[in-house]
C-alpha cells in the first residue's frame, strides 16, 4: 500500500472501549483482532470482516492482562498478566476465548514478561522478561520451557525477542553495558543451541547522529538516543527491524548490518510518563506506522523515512498498532479501537 496515493486509508469501524488499550494482535487469518486493556483486565475480540460490531469481551480479573498475542488457533491466544494481578503475574497463559478457560500455564520467569512472539510456522513461542531471560516454549505443551536462550555478555536491563515472518530466524535485543547502545543477536530457529549466527550492535552515538541529521537539536538527540527499547519487529522480507522505545522515538535498523536507517519521532510530544511508542510495519513492507501522543497515526515510507500520510480519528494517545496480515487494513487503539481500510 502506497500511503501517499489517493484515496488513503479510511475509518472502517470504531469500537468503543472504557479503558486504555495495552496490546493488540491480529489472527493470521486476518478475520479477528485481539485487543487487551490492562487497566480494566479485559480482552476484546473484534470482527474485522463485518464492520467491527459489538466485540466479544472476556474479563480476566484474577490474572489481569497486559500483553496479548494471537496463536494459530482461531479460538486461543497467549497473554501475560497485568502488573498488579496475583502471585503468578510472571507467567504466560494459553487462553481459550471460546469459553474463557485457561488451558495451559507457562511458569519459569521470575519477573514481569516484557514480550511474547509466536512463531508463524509452528506452536513455539518466545517470551522475554525483566528478570533478564528469554525463554522458548511450545504452546501445545504445558510444563517447563524448551530452553533459556543465551544473551550477549555484559548487558543491562530487560531483553526483548521476536520471530521473523518466516519463523526460521528470531532476534533477541539487550542493552549494552555502560549505556553504549543495544545488541541485536539473530538465531537460527532450527539450531538455536549453536548460539547466534549474527551479532549486531546498534551504537547510541549512531542513533544520536541520525537524529541530529534529521533536524533534532543536540540536546534532544542526546536524550532520545538514550530511550529504552520496548519492542522489536521484523518486516516481512527481514531486511528491516523496527525498534520502538519509551522515549517518543522509533528506529528502523538494517536487518543484515545493524545500521540505523531512519528515526521517527512521536508527534505531540512524548508525554510526561514514559510509555512504549506504538509501532508496526504495514503488511506489504512499504510503510512504518507510528502512534502519536496527540491521537494521530503517522504513516512513513519505509524506504525513504518520509511522512506519507497522517490519520486522524483518536482523541487521545495511540497506544497500540497492528497490521492485518491478509487484508488492506490496520488497527490503532487508544481507549477506542479504529480499524482503517482502503
Could you tell me the pTM of the whole model? 0.95
**What is the C-alpha R_g of the chain?**
19
Q: Which CATH superfamily is domain 10-341 in?
A: YVTN repeat-like/Quinoprotein amine dehydrogenase (2.130.10.10)
Cis peptide before 7 (omega within 30 of 0): yes
Instruction: Give the pLDDT of residue 82.
Output: 82
Instruction: Give the pLDDT of residue 87.
Output: 56
Task: Please list the ranges in the chain whose pLDDT falls under 70.
Answer: 1, 52, 85-88, 269-273
Picking from 17, 22, 57, 58, the residue whose alpha carbon sits closest to that of residue 37 is 22
Instruction: Give the pLDDT of residue 165.
Output: 97
Picking from 12, 91, 17, 23, the residue whose alpha carbon sits closest to that of residue 57 is 17
* DSSP character string of 219-276: HHHHHHTTPPEEEEEE-TTSSEEEEEESSSEEEEEETTT--EEEEEEPTT---SS--P
Instruction: Give the pLDDT of residue 71.
Output: 98
State how far the Cα of 106 lies from the Cα of 248, in Å rounded to an integer: 32
Instruction: Give the pLDDT of residue 83.
Output: 78
- Domain residue spans in the chain? 10-341
Amino acid at each position: 500500500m502506497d500511503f501517499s496515493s489517493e484515496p488513503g486509508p479510511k475509518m472502517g469501524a470504531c469500537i468503543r472501549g472504557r479503558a486504555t488499550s495495552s496490546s493488540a494482535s491480529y489472527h493470521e487469518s486476518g478475520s479477528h483482532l485481539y485487543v487487551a486493556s490492562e487497566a480494566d483486565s479485559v480482552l476484546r475480540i473484534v470482527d474485522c470482516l463485518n464492520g467491527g460490531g459489538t466485540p466479544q469481551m472476556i474479563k480476566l480479573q484474577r490474572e489481569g492482562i497486559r500483553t496479548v498475542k494471537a496463536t494459530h488457533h482461531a479460538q486461543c491466544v497467549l497473554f501475560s498478566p497485568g502488573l498488579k494481578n496475583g502471585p503468578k503475574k510472571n507467567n504466560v497463559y494459553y487462553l481459550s476465548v471460546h469459553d474463557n478457560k485457561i488451558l495451559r500455564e507457562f511458569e519459569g520467569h521470575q519477573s514481569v514478561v516484557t514480550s511474547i512472539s509466536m512463531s508463524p510456522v509452528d506452536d513455539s513461542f518466545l517470551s522475554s522478561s525483566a528478570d533478564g531471560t528469554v525463554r522458548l516454549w511450545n504452546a501445545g505443551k504445558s510444563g517447563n520451557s524448551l530452553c533459556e536462550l543465551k544473551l550477549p555478555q555484559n548487558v543491562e536491563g530487560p531483553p526483548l525477542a521476536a520471530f521473523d515472518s518466516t519463523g526460521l530466524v528470531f532476534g533477541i535485543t539487550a542493552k549494552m553495558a555502560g549505556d553504549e547502545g543495544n545488541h541485536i543477536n539473530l538465531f537460527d530457529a532450527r539450531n538455536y543451541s549453536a548460539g547466534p549466527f549474527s551479532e549486531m550492535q546498534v551504537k547510541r552515538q549512531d542513533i544520536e547522529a541520525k537524529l541530529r541529521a534529521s533536524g533534532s537539536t543536540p540536546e534532544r538527540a542526546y536524550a532520545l538516543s538514550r530511550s529504552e527499547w520496548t519492542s522489536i519487529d521484523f518486516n516481512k522480507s527481514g531486511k528491516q527491524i523496527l525498534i520502538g522505545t519509551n522515549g517518543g522515538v522509533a528506529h528502523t535498523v538494517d536487518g543484515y548490518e545493524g545500521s540505523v536507517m531512519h528515526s521517527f519521532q512521536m508527534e505531540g510530544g512524548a508525554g510526561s510518563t514514559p510509555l512504549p511508542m506504538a509501532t508496526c510495519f504495514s503488511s506489504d513492507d512499504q510503510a512504518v506506522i507510528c502512534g502519536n501522543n496527540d491521537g494521530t497515526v503517522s504513516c512513513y515510507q519505509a524506504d525513504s523515512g518520509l511522512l506519507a500520510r497522517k490519520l486522524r480519528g483518536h482523541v487521545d494517545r495511540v497506544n497500540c498498532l497492528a497490521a492485518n496480515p491478509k487484508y488492506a487494513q490496520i488497527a490503532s487503539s487508544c481507549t477506542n479501537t479504529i480499524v482503517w481500510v482502503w
